[in-house]
Chains A and B, each alone.
Chain A
Amino acid sequence: MKKFILADCNNFYVSCERVFNPLLDKKPVVVLSNNDGCIVSRSDEAKKLGIPMGAPLYQQKDVVEKNKVYVFSSNYQFYGDMSDRVMESLEMFAPKLEIYSIDEAFIKTNTISFDDIFKDVVNIRKKIIKWTGIPMSFGIAPTKTLSKIANHIAKKRTYEGVFDISENNVANDIMRNLPVEELWGISNKWGKKLRHLGVSTALELKNSNAKFIRKHTSVLLERMVYELRGMPCLDIESISPKKNIMSSKSFGTSIAEIEPILEALSSYAARACEKLRKQNSKASGIYVFIRTNPFHQNKPQYKNGHALNFDLPTSDSRVILCAARRLMRGLYRKGHKYHKCGIMLLDLVPDNYKQAHFFSTNDSEDQNNFMKTVDRINNYMGPQTLFYLSQGISKEWKMKCENRSNRYTTKWSELLEVN
C-alpha cells in the first residue's frame, strides 16, 4: 500500500544554533523573527517555561532574564544552508519529495522500496541526524493529513521519533482528543465554523457526512474528511516556479525621511529581481507598499500601496528599481514614522516569453546579457559585490539583528573556531 511520510525537523532554528554551539544543549533557547521582533522558534526547555510561539520578545523579558534563556536573532543564510543539507540527505533515500517548508518535507513511499517501512525509516532518521546534527521526526500514514498527525505523535510520544499511524490501530484514540483547529490546514475561522456545526474534534470530522461538510464549508474540508478516513485526496506536489515574488522587511528603527526608505526599497527590489532571474522569469508588473508601525496605536497611522504594469515583462533590475522608486515617491507622505516597506513582482512569465509591443522597442538581448553578467559576478565574488548606488552605502535602515550567530556554513570569515 502507498503511504505518505512527513519528515519534520524539531525546533528547526534552535536546532541549527545547537549544531555549532553544544553549550546550548539542554538549555532554554529561542530564535527571533526578522528585526528581533517575535519568538519564532523555541527549544523544548523554553516551551516548558511557558514562552508562547510568536510572542513579542519584550512581553517575555522577565521570563527570559530570570531563566537565562539564550536569545538569538534569525540567521537565515545559515538556516537555509542547513535546510538544504537536510533535504538533500532525504533526497538520497527518497528521490521524489515535496519540500513543504524550510523544515518539513512529504515523501511518498511508492518511489522507494522498503523491506520494513518502520525499521527503514528509523535507520534513515538516524543517519540524517548524524550527518546534519538536526533532530527530526517522521510520521507515516496512508494520507498526507494523517501523516501530519502521525508526525505530531512521533515528536511528542515516541522514543524513536518515528510513528506509523496505520500500524497501531490507535488513529481513532488520537483523533478523539485532537481539536479540529490543530489539523493541518484548518484555520481558526474554519475551526469556529466546524464547532458551530457540532464538529469539535478530528474524530468527529472523520465521522461526519462528507457531503454535509462540503455544503456548509468547502470542498477542501470535504477532502479532509476523506483524508482522515485514510483515502488519499492530496498527492505529492512538484515544485513549480513562483507566481509572485515578495520582498519586504521592517526597518531597524522607524524612519521619517524619504531617502533611507528609497534606499531600503531599492535593496529589497534588487534582491527580488535576483530571485526572479534565478527562476528564469520576468515580471509583468510590480506592487510597492509602505506602512507605519501598527503596534504604535498612539501615533498617526498610514499605509498605502500602488501597482504598475510594464509595457513588456522584464527582469532588468534597472527598470524595476526605477519604477519602484517612482511609485514610492507617490506613496510617501511627510509627517509619519515608517516601519516597513516592500515590493511584490506580479504576474511572472517565463523569460523566453516574447510578445511584441507596438510602442516599445525590444532590445532585451543586451539587457539580459548585462544582468546575467552582474549575477555571475555576484555569484562568484559574493552577494552585493556589485550593487546599485540607489541602495545606499551606509544602510542605516537595516534591520536589527543584535544576537545573530555566525554564518558558519556560508562565509569563510565566520567559520567556527575549534581549539
Chain B
Amino acid sequence: MARLTLKNIGKSFGKTEVLKNISLDVEDGEFLSLVGQSGCGKSTLLRIISGLEAPSRGEILIDGQVVTEQSPKQRNIAMVFQDYALYPHMSVAENMAMPLIMSQLPLHARLPLVRHVAPSARRAKPSMATQVETVAKQLRIDHLLTRKPAQLSGGQRQRVALGRALVRNPGIFLMDEPLSNLDAKLRVEVRREISELHHSSGLTFVYVTHDQTEAMTMSDRVALMQGGEVLQVAAPNTLYTNPVSVDVARFIGSPQINILPVQSRLDGLFLGDINLHLETIGKVSDLQLGLRPEALSFRGVAGLQLQPIKPGSILLPFQKRMVEDLGPEILIHGCFEADPEIEIRVRAQKNTDYGKTDQFAGTHKLQVAIDPTQLLLFNAHGLRIQPTPHMAQSLGEVVT
C-alpha cells in the first residue's frame, strides 16, 4: 500500500532526452497505466520508478518519502517483466521464495555453503514455504512448485512471475508489458486475472503497455505518453470522450478517429465549401475536426441499424470505397465529397436485415449524418477547443 509521486522527472541518454519533465500522482490502491507507442519513454519511466535507472532530474516520492537515491530493494516495490525473467535453474518454489530470502535473511545466512547450515536460514524456512504456498494457491500454480521455468507454458510462467512479485507484500506493483508475450486468448484471461488481483490485493499498480485495450479495460486512470511527455492523465472514459489534444484522440480508439481540416469563418465552420452550421470560435482560423467512427451514421441504407437523428445533425454526401464486415458491425471506408483527400471510417451496427440483400452493391454515393454532440474540435496546434464560448475565445486567441 503506497502512494507514488513523481516530481519533474527528466531523463537523458547522452544528448537524447527521453523523458521531459514528468509529474504524476498515483493514489494508494490505484491502477495507473502508462500507454504510448514504443519509444515514448514509458518503460524508462517505469524503470526510474523501480530504481533500476536513475533520473537525470526530478524527485520520486513513495508515501511522501523521497526515494530518488534508494535502491530497488529499499523502495519495497515488485516488478513483473515482459519476458517473465524467471531464474532459469531454480524451481518455481525457489523462484517465488527468492524475494523473501533476500529481504528476511541476514547476509551471512545467504552466503554460499554457509546458507545450508545457518540456523537463522533453517528457522525462517517453514514460514517462507507457507507464504509461497499461500500465494501459489491464490494464483493456481501450487501444483507446479517443483517444476523448472523451462517446463512451464507462457501463461504459467507469467503467473509464477506474478507470484514472485506478490509474495513479499510490495507497496507498489510495477508491470512492464506483462501480456505481450502471450497469445491473444490467454491475454484476455490473464488480463482479467490481473484486474482481479488488483481488486483483491488493494495494491498500487503501475502498468506499462502499448496496447490501448489493456490500458482502457484494467486501469482506474491512464497516462498517455508521447515523445517523453505525458499528454493526458485521466480515467479511460474521459480519455476517450474528452481528449485534450489531437494526439490523444488519435491514439485512443480503434478504429482510429477521423480528423478533418476545417476552417472557422465569421459565419460558421466550413468543411471545404460546405457550412457545417456549427458554432464558431468567432475568428478566421484553420481548425481540426475530430469525428469518432461511431459519431457518424448512414441514412437510407438497408440492413443498418438507424440511430435516431439528433436535432441539428448535419447530412453530408459520402463516397464509399471499401466495406469491412466485423461480425456485429461493419466498418465503411470512404471520403466526404467535400474533401476527397481525407479517408473517413464509419462504424455502423448491423440489423437483422443485413446480409439478405447486397446493400452496398452499386451504391457508391451515400448520405452520412454527423451527430453534433459528439464532435471534437482542435486548433491548428492540435489542442482541444472546448465548446463553451468562454474557453473557445481564449483558445482562439492562442491560434491567431
- Bound together: no
Binding site for B on A (CB under 8 A): none
